[in-house]
Amino acid sequence: MPALLPSEKAFIPFVSVENMMRLVHHVGIETMLIGLTEAVEADFRRWDLFDKTPRVASHSLDGVIELMPTSDGAVYSFKYVNGHPKNMAQGLQTVTAFGLLAEVSTGYPVLLTEMTLLTALRTAATSAMAARHLAPAGARSLALIGNGAQAEFQALAMKAVLGIEEVRLYDIDPKATEKTMRNLANMGLRLVPCTSAQAAIEGADIITTCTADKQFATILTDNMVGAGVHINAIGGDCPGKTELHRDILLRADTFVEYPPQTRIEGEIQQMDPDYPVTELWQVVSGRAQGRRSEAQITLFDSVGFAIEDFSALRYVREKLVGTDYFQKLDIIADPDDPRDLFGMLQRAG
């Protein structure tokens, strides 16, 4: 991984929201989604190298605040992220985040960045990667159930990575669908607004659910889901929050990121502890089979995992090289004599 500021160890690159937006426009959003998909897939192929632990979560009646750490032995990363569904009523984001990379050899941070935008991008990239391995061949139609902050990213990732041509949209709030239609206009997609979830999934090859309510919800019922589809369930990501009726899970082959976390937070929290799942990294690395037949229902029960954030952070760090899309952040004390921290403070008076 390239060093950005080799002569200024006391400073680390910080990517603000403004600079992240500049970087996305510089790279191109679909190009960036493809690049993030490749980065996540590459790290899934070396899954065994990473430290893995369920995220450290602090739950409250209002939402959840989490830390998501991992390391591949050379580089360490963590993400701070919250999930507060009630924020929307106050005009606030449901999810906000920031993340950090550090060198394992010294413990020094080498990148600090916003991750509200980056999480949306990497979540969409991970969904597209999963669909590339699990969706029916030649999939061209996507149903998006839940048209909030994640919707456009999901649609564009499926277009860029899989060649999706049609997006069928439904949200309980028609204004959310109108927003998504407006934002995706002139993006090369055929957009179909729908008045029900049932209507949205008719004829869809891939169904993505991305709703935000922190409750046991049934966005899709068993009778709505026909044979042969692939489902990305990305909205359920904490205890007590689901989107699918459990009967769908009884019919589907379910793929997950990290079972100890997904059994607590994912759709499979509804199921018995011995409910069978396949870890997605095993499919990506060729150790397990993904889609086996045209009639098979595949389900990616995605709750988000720290390795995906690691992939996104290292991708951004690489893309920053040679740009000015970062600020030099002075957060590391750098005394001339490493033993004389107090002397550095004293001389600053």
Kindly report the CATH number assigned to the domain that includes residue 179. Answer: 3.40.50.720
- Does 231 lie in the same domain as 254? yes
Going residue by residue through the chain, which has 349 residues, state the pLDDT in tens, using 9 for 90 and above: 444 444 356 689 999 999 999 999 999 999 999 999 999 999 999 999 999 999 998 989 888 899 999 999 999 999 999 988 889 889 998 889 999 999 999 999 999 999 999 999 999 999 999 999 999 999 999 999 999 999 999 999 999 999 999 999 999 999 999 999 999 999 999 999 999 999 999 999 999 998 866 565 678 888 889 899 999 999 866 677 788 989 999 999 999 999 999 999 899 999 999 999 999 999 999 999 999 999 999 999 999 999 999 999 999 999 999 999 999 999 999 898 999 999 999 999 8
How much is the pTM?
0.93
- Does 180 lie in the same domain as 78? no
For residue 348, tell me if it sits in a domain: no
- Does 44 lie in the same domain as 186? no
The tally of domains found in the chain comes to: 2
For residue 269, tell me if it sits in a domain: yes
For residue 176, tell me if it sits in a domain: yes
- Does 289 lie in the same domain as 172? yes
Q: Are 196 and 174 in contact (CB under 8 A)?
A: no
* Residue 326: predicted pLDDT: 97
- Residues pairing with 98 in the sheet: 80, 114
Q: Which DSSP string do the residues of 53-81 spell out, in sequence order?
A: ---EEEE-SS-EEEEEEEE-SSEEEEEEE
* Residue 176 CB burial class (10 angstroms; 0-12, 13-18, ≥19): middle
Q: What is the per-residue burial (b if ≥16 Cβ within 10 Å, else e) of 232-253?
A: bbbbbbbeebbbbbeebbeebb
- Does 142 lie in the same domain as 59? no
For residue 313, tell me if it sits in a domain: yes
Residue from 255, 120, 211 nearest 220 by CA: 211
For residue 122, tell me if it sits in a domain: no
Residue from 139, 163, 122 nearest 305 by CA: 122
For residue 141, tell me if it sits in a domain: yes
Active site residue 340: no
If you count them, how many residues does the chain have? 349
For residue 126, tell me if it sits in a domain: no
Digit-coded pLDDT (tens) for 222-275: 888 989 999 999 986 667 778 898 999 999 999 999 999 999 989 999 999 999
Q: What are the structure tokens assigned to 328, written together?
A: 């030099």
Strand bridging mode 327-330 / 11-15:
antiparallel
- Does 232 lie in the same domain as 192? yes
Residue 11's H or E segment, with its range, is strand 11-15
- Does 314 lie in the same domain as 284? no
Q: Determine which one of 43, 171, 205, 237 is catalytic.
A: 237
DSSP state of 266: S
The domain in which residue 18 lies consists of: 11-117+307-340
Side-chain half-sphere CA neighbours of 321 within 13 A? 10
For residue 138, tell me if it sits in a domain: yes
- Does 252 lie in the same domain as 331? no
- Does 147 lie in the same domain as 286? yes
- Does 251 lie in the same domain as 216? yes
